[in-house]
Amino acid sequence: MRNRFFIDGDLTSGAVVALRDDERHHARVLRVREGEEVEVFNGRGDSYLAKYESSDLIRYREARTAIHLAMSIIQLDKFELVLQKATELGVRSIIPLIAERTEVKPERYRGKEERWRKIIFEAVKQSGRAVIPTLEAAVQFEEVVGRPGAKIIFDADAEATAIRPPDHPTTAFIGPEGGWSDDELRMARDHRCIFQTLGTRRLRAETAAIAATAILSARSEHI
């Protein structure tokens, strides 16, 4: 027999409805599982089958601290992999970055925003997130590095700066295949960016993006 829950309001097919506090408590007492089929009714003759989703679980899936990924535009198939994986790992926004050593010509990625947003949206659905990351328009490195807030430059040759787990919005910068230019590194220092490495090995840009996002997300969960 399915568990039944009262909804004080109109019910329509396909709608998402919220349980009242007492009904949510009842669901916890009954140990209703995520995705379990239940019945909802409103006492006015409307009754529907529904799938149960815990709002507590959805909130838990989102990182406590907003992490933004400023990702240099690389070969498009690899860039799209980063969009997917960074979304799964919980970034709040993705900023396609034009660096001095970006090799992909603007005509290659111009008009790709709709496709990229679809990739992000599908990753949100797959991972069970409640927030769709923002996708910004492609922007020059110097514009993003000058923004306020905490900024971490990931660079294989950098002398790493000790950092605490991020407890406020943080932007992670990942360079192109050819790495950051001397001017970009100097600009980052001028803007008081934190420098970090990802170990002793030199990683491909897409690997670095995924690793950096995973590390920062994990650190933010231990604030």
Q: CATH number for the domain including 28? A: 2.40.240.20
Condensed to tens digits (0 to 9), the pLDDT of residues 98-107 reads 999 999 999 9
Q: Where a domain ends, among 12, 27, 59? A: 59
Verify that 54 and 80 share a domain, yes or no.
Answer: no
**What does the alpha-carbon distance between residue 223 and residue 210 come to, in Å, rounded to a whole number?**
21
Neighbouring-strand partners of residue 172: 69, 152
* Residue range 172-191: mean pLDDT, rounded: 97
Whether residues 96 and 24 share a domain: the answer is no
pLDDT of residue 62: 78
Encoded tokens for 186: 């100097």
Interatomic CA distance for residues 89 and 124, integer angstroms: 10
Region of 41 on the Ramachandran plot (φ > 0 left; ψ -120 to 50 alpha; else beta): beta
Report how far residue 95's alpha carbon sits from residue 160's, in angstroms, rounded to the nearest whole number.
23
Q: Are residues 38 and 138 in the same domain?
A: no
Q: What is the pLDDT of residues 31-46, one digit of tens each?
A: 888 888 999 998 888 8
Domain interval for residue 9:
4-59
- Yes or no: say if 7 and 19 are a contact pair by the CB < 8 Å rule: yes
Q: What is the pTM of this model?
A: 0.75
Same domain? For 134 and 91 the reply is yes
Tally of domains in the chain: 2
